Chain A
Amino acid sequence: MSTGGKKGDAPPRKQQPQKQQSSAGPSQGPSRTVRILVSVLLLLHVSALYLYPLANSRTSFTVRNIVQSPWLRWYGDPLYLNHGHGFFGPDPPDGFLVDYVVYDDQGKEVSKGTFPDPKEIWPRLRYHRFKMLADQLESPGRGMKEDRLRAYARQLIREHDGENAVVTERLHTIVPYEDWIGDEASGRKGKPLDDPSLYQTLTRVTQSRADVDAADAALESGAESVPAPIGPPEQIGPGGPLQ
């Protein structure tokens, strides 16, 4: 196998006597001026490709300043280059779940569920989008998690034509290997992947139809603020029981 064209399709490398004659490169293709211009653009583009993922929280302020400069963001942001590539890094993450209950105006349960739920949400790519909705509650942003959860609650009210919705973020810790494998010698049994002790309730919010109407009105009027919540989100401390 070979690279895209280097050995198999590119013209054979020129011999030394021809080298000076062909110093501008292959005779086919764009002129030397175009090549120089394109080369500059390619250098800038490839630099952007490698600078964006380099700019994590631990990198030098030099790189951070470059990446946050309008000159680079003007180019990289619209082309969707402005992100890292930490696939399953630094460590494979724990799972997050969003439980919800939607009630009608009589207080009767209209809908209850959890996402992501592979039994309910298909195809798999769609399931993965909902998994991202749950996981990215934890992505950085000052006080954004509660606002995100409230937006989910309002969407559930819309979808199920409800009056109120209670939405709860739940953490599913991955069972430690030692706990899963157990210990035959001491008679300690292995813990299953979905052992109740691995789940922890984190944050719960409530939204009503009035919040939905207020949010829709704010968007229509172009207001940029999220409607004020009825009350502060309920923060549930570590060790909280499984619902």
Chain B
Amino acid sequence: MTGLRLALAEYWGDVWEAWNEFWFAPTAPAALSAIRVFAGAMLFYTHLVWSFDLSAFFGPNGWLPLDLYARERGYDLEGGHSYMWSLFQHIQSPTLLWTIHIVALVCFFLLTIGLFSRTTAVLSAFFAIMYATRVTPGAYFGLDKVNCMLAMYLMLGPCGARYSVDRLLNMRRGATGEVPTSTWANVAIRLIQLHMCAFYLFAGLGKLEGQTWWDGYAIWRSIASSEYQSIDVTWLGHYPHLMNLLAHGTVLFELFYPFLIWPRFTRPWMLATAVGMHLFIASCMGMITFGLAMLIGNLAFVKPATVRKVMDPLARRFALLLLGDRAGQSD
């Protein structure tokens, strides 16, 4: 019995250690900071586009009037009470609506450039959820889910530690040393990673419920949809075997992403496939913002050292341009 007890104690000790390492090992905040730059820009653009039709979508009347919204929000549609809430449910005045919109856009912009990063990250998550909730259902799609996910996790870690105005201001005050590693940067990155795995896993499982992802016609249905099409690639129809392989490859990629993205030998292949798939969706099916947002999420699987190799030279140029000698050797 003592042997069994020791073995169990060792097992649980190992589990705790692995758990600790997975969630709480401090990591360099480079990847999180890079995600902040791109996700912030995506949030800014996404919400800037709402400006064309702000009152029509977010006002009390319009395409999605509030009374209909209250019913659709599912107060009893599914047999349960909805706890979804949007600030825009309570906004009647166009002036107030525009004021909130401008404040939100300023927040997203500040998040992108990394000024008051933690504060603007919290506010950006709040606003992103408020906008998405108000147009759900009605005008939402996958982009809103990815936007809200990225904004929500950015606020958990030091997303402005690098590639930010905050960093430049710190350097100006003489803090030109190495940016410290952070446990919360790791927590935020891990949550983005796990959320990305959920996206792909359930996208793959959902496709298994259909017929066309099995018989290969799904790619044809995707490229032949005039309403989605932005570049005509129906010439693929002359290569049915290629279309079938793309359909099967898509399902396999999505189903296996949550497993093969973790081992370092398979990770580059999964990321390369994600880049190919999302760029195809972005360019040929017109969902540029959604494709790019998913790629931003995939950045969470790129190690900070790799991110730094790409981002640091650019950041250094900015720092030298703005601070001159005070930028030192750091980024």
The judgment on whether A and B are partners is: yes
Q: Measuring CB to CB, which residues of chain A are less than 8 angstroms from any residue of chain B?
A: 1-11, 13, 19-20, 22-26, 28-30, 35, 38-39, 42, 45-46, 49-50, 53-54, 56, 58, 68-70, 73-74, 77-80, 82-97, 116, 118, 123-133, 136, 139-142, 144, 147-148, 151-152, 154-155, 158-159, 172, 174-175, 177, 180-181, 193-194, 215-216, 218-219, 223-226
Distance in angstroms between the alpha carbons of A10 and B186 in the assembled complex: 10
Distance in angstroms between the alpha carbons of A175 and B218 in the assembled complex: 12
Chain B 145-173, CB-CB to A under 8 Å as 1, else 0, gives 10010001000000000000000000000
A26 / chain B contacts, CB cutoff of 8 Å: 20-21, 24-26
Distance in angstroms between the alpha carbons of A201 and B195 in the assembled complex: 40
Q: Indicate if the CB atoms of B218 and A3 lie closer than 8 Å.
A: no
Q: Indicate if the CB atoms of A5 and B303 lie closer than 8 Å.
A: yes
User: Is B319 located at the chain interface by the 8 A CB criterion?
Assistant: no
Closest CB in chain B relative to A132 CB, distance in Å: 5
Show 10 residue pairs from A and B whose CB-CB distance is below 8 angstroms, ordered by the A residue: A4-B185, A4-B189, A5-B304, A6-B21, A10-B21, A25-B25, A38-B187, A80-B144, A129-B49, A180-B234
Distance in angstroms between the alpha carbons of A29 and B27 in the assembled complex: 11
Binds A, one of B94-102, B106-114, B285-293: B285-293
Query: Quick one: which of B31, B56, B271 contacts A155, CB cutoff 8 A?
Result: B56
- B66: nearest residue on chain A (CB-CB)? A219
Chain A interface helix/strand/loop/mixed: loop
B27 / chain A contacts, CB cutoff of 8 Å: 4-5, 9-10
Closest CB in chain B relative to A134 CB, distance in Å: 8
Distance in angstroms between the alpha carbons of A85 and B136 in the assembled complex: 14
- A46: nearest residue on chain B (CB-CB)? B194
Binds A, one of B116-124, B201-209, B310-318, B323-331: B201-209
Closest CB in chain A relative to B159 CB, distance in Å: 13
Q: Indicate if the CB atoms of B304 and A9 lie closer than 8 Å.
A: yes
Chain B 218-233, CB-CB to A under 8 Å as 1, else 0, gives 1011101111111000
- A36: nearest residue on chain B (CB-CB)? B16
Query: Quick one: which of A7, A123, A139 contacts B264, CB cutoff 8 A?
Result: A7
Q: Indicate if the CB atoms of A219 and B21 lie closer than 8 Å.
A: no
Q: Indicate if the CB atoms of A22 and B17 lie closer than 8 Å.
A: yes
A77 / chain B contacts, CB cutoff of 8 Å: 82-85
A93 / chain B contacts, CB cutoff of 8 Å: 225
Distance in angstroms between the alpha carbons of A78 and B82 in the assembled complex: 9
A49 / chain B contacts, CB cutoff of 8 Å: 194-195, 198
Q: Indicate if the CB atoms of A174 and B221 lie closer than 8 Å.
A: yes
On whether A42 and B23 interact (CB within 8 A), knowing A4-B189, A73-B83, the answer reads yes
User: Is B300 located at the chain interface by the 8 A CB criterion?
Assistant: yes
- A73: nearest residue on chain B (CB-CB)? B83
Closest CB in chain B relative to A193 CB, distance in Å: 5
- A131: nearest residue on chain B (CB-CB)? B227
Closest CB in chain B relative to A161 CB, distance in Å: 14
- B22: nearest residue on chain A (CB-CB)? A6
Distance in angstroms between the alpha carbons of A189 and B20 in the assembled complex: 64
A85 / chain B contacts, CB cutoff of 8 Å: 142, 145, 198-200, 202-203, 206
Q: Indicate if the CB atoms of B81 and A70 lie closer than 8 Å.
A: yes
Which of B72, B132, B191 has the most C-beta atoms of chain A within 10 angstroms of its own C-beta?
B72
Closest CB in chain B relative to A81 CB, distance in Å: 9
Q: Indicate if the CB atoms of A79 and B129 lie closer than 8 Å.
A: yes
Q: Indicate if the CB atoms of B26 and A80 lie closer than 8 Å.
A: no
Query: Quick one: which of B67, B144, B222, B226 contacts A92, CB cutoff 8 A?
Result: B222
B132 / chain A contacts, CB cutoff of 8 Å: 80
User: Is B138 located at the chain interface by the 8 A CB criterion?
Assistant: yes
Q: Indicate if the CB atoms of B218 and A91 lie closer than 8 Å.
A: yes
Distance in angstroms between the alpha carbons of A80 and B132 in the assembled complex: 8
User: Is B141 located at the chain interface by the 8 A CB criterion?
Assistant: yes
Distance in angstroms between the alpha carbons of A183 and B268 in the assembled complex: 42
- B55: nearest residue on chain A (CB-CB)? A158
A84 / chain B contacts, CB cutoff of 8 Å: 202, 206
Given A90-B206, A133-B139, A180-B224, 12 more A-B residue pairs with CB atoms under 8 Å apart are A4-B186, A5-B303, A6-B25, A22-B17, A23-B17, A77-B84, A78-B83, A87-B203, A91-B210, A147-B68, A193-B229, A224-B70
Which of A7, A70, A128 has the most C-beta atoms of chain B within 10 angstroms of its own C-beta?
A128
